[in-house]
Structure 1
Amino acid sequence: MHSSAVLLIEFGSIILGLGLLGRFAARFQFSPIPLYLLAGLAFGEGGLLPLGASEEFVAIGAEIGVILLLLMLGLEYTASDLVSNLKAHYPSGLVDFTLNALPGAAAALLLGWGPVAAVVLAGVTWISSSGVIAKVLGDLGRVGNRETPVILSVLVLEDLAMAVYLPIVTALVAGVGLAAGSVTLAVALGAAGLVLFVALRYGRILSRFVSSDDPEKLLLVVLGLTILVAGVAQQLQVSAAVGAFLVGIALSGEVAEGAHTLLSPLRDLFAAVFFVFFGLHTDPASIPPVLVPALALAVVTAATKIATGYWAARRAGISVKGRWRTGGALVARGEFSIVIAGLAVTAGIEPSLGPLATAYVLILVVLGPLTARYTEPLAGRWARLREARRPPAEEPAPEARTETPVGD
């Protein structure tokens, strides 16, 4: 009874604290993610007031948070949207991967962490934060801008890539061999292909089966189906997050809209718990030694994300100002970087990987809204300064006039 009371007190304090932090962040119009991570650092190993009784309960809540994050992401897209985006914008996805994943992999190898940590850190630096970026675009009133579809297409391609990348990381951190890893990847690709096929051909039938006029029944069916599929996916070592993402893609129409409305508060609650849980497992004393590499990596990958957005927008025929706005908007990293790093931290791959990922996300989740707002004005000012410093072109010498002699 005593331990149960302590659990309720600790967990209630966590939820209350997260609510107050969220209100503080909303008041000053920035993402609450860094505050949630800092809260986890404060109450985790080596923090100010380590938790005890509620840690296991928080771990379960964190796992549900990852599942709901990916489910809600899948609900944002239909299968036809994903296929059309893949066909139209795959070159932008390849540029995005090359410019942003390779710096993370190179940093891990330079730090001597080995190939598995390199694959994990590549994902941490590659994937932008859809949640933070969507909020920033709304706050800046840019949802209707011409460059916004380009931003969304890059995010969609990253989300699609997660369905392939997460099973690879899951297999690597689990230490399975090449044969078992190949089977895991084949199962993941087969499941993704099957879900896309079913969603394209029979999506309406599936949505009608799940649909209900009663919000309570709709919530229970969608949530139960998602957690069930996520559990089966994890049992197959594919990744629970991928299973949840595929469920979201398979649902469409009014069902997807209704589920999105009902599940949004739950997503926000458990996602906040997930960020706290990640911070709980990071010792604050381990962050200062990796702060310089994290800052250097943040600066490099902020620049490569801006270059990615600029290239993708130019390819789509967007004006120069819109290209800079596209690049600046893509800088923020957040939930997916922490999800990827969390896989490695849980498996004990590299002790310094979690602290570096935490510091990296803290830097870019704060820097991202600033680059979204100020990259285009700063680029314009820089262009004007260069134009002003350019020496004026010499005027061509007037042509010599030849007078025609007047005849008699």
Structure 2
Amino acid sequence: MNHIVFEVGLAVALIALSGLIAAKLRFSVIPFYILIGMAVGPHAFKLWHLDFRFIESAELIEFMGRIGVLFLLFYLGLEFSVGRLLKAGKSIAVGGTIYILINFSLGLLLGLCLGFPVKEMLVIAGITTISSSAIVAKVLVDLKRTANPETEMILGIIMFEDVFLAVYISILSGLVLSDSSSIGGVLMSAGIALVYMLGLLIVGRKLVPLLNRVLNIRSGELFTIVIFAALFLVAGFSETIHVAEAIGALLIGLVLAETEHAKRIEKLIIPFRDFFGAIFFFSFGLSIDPLTLGGEAMWYALAAVIVTLIGNFIAGMLAGRTADLNPRASSNIGLTIVSRGEFSIIMANLGKAGGLLAILQPFAAMYVLILAILGPLLTKESKVIYLALNRLFKFESRHKKRLQRKRTTVTEES
């Protein structure tokens, strides 16, 4: 413990270095954070007689990573608005439903084909369903696609995923973290989780006028302490009733997003989200034994990547069609939201906390690494990919025929 401060400082320096390399290469930082964590984790090799492994500080860094998850989900709650989703229209709700159903069903089917038990199948489906909002948002900004016609659908699907994530983690945590093995006990835990989540949102919205007055604090120091107290108390209490602490953070974020202080809170949280969020990915890397990434974990991850690529492309084409987007814009949807990151890792950690099969963590690590690298590349080269696929499947000609049939129908009706 004598060198724990130095180890943490060195960890932050390594995170910063890997981030600078990622920025230089214009690539997502997430795989770099995970890889550097794996390289210096307790499971890494000694270099001759030198030992660079993070052993003494691993537990502290893991805790700091947990804090990173709370800030990531809390910030998402602050960004999310039910009103925005409703204003976006029916097409986003339909497109989001299509995306979730296709990817979740394929995830369950993958788990079944690989021979996993039911609980592990549900975790795998969660890992493969939710895209990384952090990577997707960064890619859209970097490639200057925020004004593209398909971007509204992409952002709408991401918001829809957030709603699904909140409900699904609540149910899954009740199932995985419950001490009861009976169906009744599991349903009871899941029911408590859902009632708690809905109750907190309903009561929180009712208390918005009171929260506006309570948070009307001039002192920046005191304002920060009050916000952090609310975040950690709600997240910590959530965990005691088998609701994932990350969802507790999301819920309190959703409540505070309704207040007139939301922008001030958001500005306060961003530096903590970035700092502790980076440590979260680094700490995940620390927990992975590189030797476990081969064998079954690698093959399972490759199978999951193939399933995800197919499922995302089909879901994107169908979602775009419901919004009357052209085939190329629709293909951009599926190719842009293919990246997986923080939420897949959260799902894997939930499986670990529930004592499920140990292979879930290396599987998720390999899966996230591949798609965190592949996702931005597919988005960048989406035009080339679409043109190649269009030669095979004739998307453009089918789209023109469909538009012609629609015009003919409208003419006949008039």
Q: Please, which runs of 5 or more residues in structure 1 have no aligned partner?
A: 391-408
Name which of 309, 324, 340 aligns with 2:347: 340
Match of 2:386? 379
Contact 1:65–1:271 (Cα < 8 Å) also in 2: yes
Q: Deviations over 1:219-253 (max 9, x none)?
A: 22212101110011011111111111011111135
Output the TM-score relative to the length of structure 1: 0.88
Alignment map for 1:203-282 (pairs within 5 Å): 203-252=208-257, 254-282=260-288
Are 1:149 and 2:155 matched, yes or no?
no
Are 1:367 and 2:364 matched, yes or no?
no
Name which of 23, 39, 44 aligns with 1:42: 39
Match of 2:331? 324
Alignment map for 1:7-406 (pairs within 5 Å): 7-48=4-45, 49-82=52-85, 89-174=92-177, 175-177=179-181, 178-198=183-203, 200-252=205-257, 254-289=260-295, 290-383=297-390
The amino acid of 1:56's aligned partner reads: E
The amino acid of 2:223's aligned partner reads: L
Match of 2:147, SS state, is coil
How far apart, in 2, do the equivalents of 1:107 and 1:241 lie?
A: 26
Work out the number of aligned pairs and report it.
385
How far apart, in 2, do the equivalents of 1:195 and 1:207 lie?
A: 17
Q: Deviations over 1:2-53 (max 9, x none)?
A: x2x3111111110111011111111221111111111221122421343221
Contact 1:163–1:188 (Cα < 8 Å) also in 2: no
Structure 1 residues 111 and 320, CA gap change in structure 2 (3 angstroms): closer
Contact 2:42–2:55 (Cα < 8 Å) also in 1: no
The amino acid of 2:277's aligned partner reads: A
How far apart, in 2, do the equivalents of 1:271 and 1:364 lie?
A: 19
How far apart, in 2, do the equivalents of 1:312 and 1:156 lie?
A: 14
How far apart, in 2, do the equivalents of 1:366 and 1:254 lie?
A: 38
Output the TM-score relative to the length of structure 2: 0.87
Match of 1:37, SS state, is helix
Q: Deviations over 1:117-144 (max 9, x none)?
A: 1000000000000000000000011112
Structure 1 residues 384 and 103, CA gap change in structure 2 (3 angstroms): closer
How far apart, in 2, do the equivalents of 1:198 and 1:141 lie?
A: 40
Structure 1 residues 241 and 223, CA gap change in structure 2 (3 angstroms): same
How far apart, in 1, do the equivalents of 2:86 and 2:210 lie?
A: 20
Contact 1:306–1:330 (Cα < 8 Å) also in 2: no
What is the CA distance between 1:86 and its match in structure 2? Answer: 8.9
Structure 1 residues 120 and 158, CA gap change in structure 2 (3 angstroms): same
Structure 1 residues 82 and 213, CA gap change in structure 2 (3 angstroms): farther
Match of 1:354, SS state, is helix
How far apart, in 2, do the equivalents of 1:155 and 1:385 lie?
A: 29
Match of 2:403? none
What is the CA distance between 1:385 and its match in structure 2? Answer: 7.8
Contact 2:193–2:241 (Cα < 8 Å) also in 1: no
What is the CA distance between 1:62 and its match in structure 2? Answer: 1.4
Contact 2:176–2:354 (Cα < 8 Å) also in 1: yes
How far apart, in 2, do the equivalents of 1:64 and 1:85 lie?
A: 32
Structure 1 residues 53 and 193, CA gap change in structure 2 (3 angstroms): same
Q: Deviations over 1:36-78 (max 9, x none)?
A: 1112211224213432211221121111111111100001023
The amino acid of 1:237's aligned partner reads: H
Contact 1:328–1:376 (Cα < 8 Å) also in 2: no
Q: Please, which runs of 5 or more residues in structure 2 have no aligned partner?
A: 46-51, 398-414
How far apart, in 2, do the equivalents of 1:382 and 1:79 lie?
A: 36
Contact 2:95–2:320 (Cα < 8 Å) also in 1: no
Stretch of structure 1 that moved more, 138-147 or 84-93: 84-93
How far apart, in 2, do the equivalents of 1:338 and 1:141 lie?
A: 28
How far apart, in 1, do the equivalents of 2:197 and 2:210 lie?
A: 19
What is the CA distance between 1:202 and its match in structure 2? Answer: 4.6
Contact 1:78–1:250 (Cα < 8 Å) also in 2: no
Structure 1 residues 342 and 30, CA gap change in structure 2 (3 angstroms): same
Contact 2:41–2:55 (Cα < 8 Å) also in 1: no
Structure 1 residues 125 and 44, CA gap change in structure 2 (3 angstroms): same
How far apart, in 2, do the equivalents of 1:218 and 1:350 lie?
A: 42
How far apart, in 1, do the equivalents of 2:194 and 2:353 lie?
A: 24
How far apart, in 2, do the equivalents of 1:385 and 1:298 lie?
A: 22
How far apart, in 1, do the equivalents of 2:305 and 2:350 lie?
A: 21
What is the CA distance between 1:280 and its match in structure 2? Answer: 1.8
Give the share of equivalent positions with the same residue, in percent. 34
The amino acid of 2:220's aligned partner reads: P
Contact 2:332–2:382 (Cα < 8 Å) also in 1: yes
Structure 1 residues 173 and 45, CA gap change in structure 2 (3 angstroms): farther
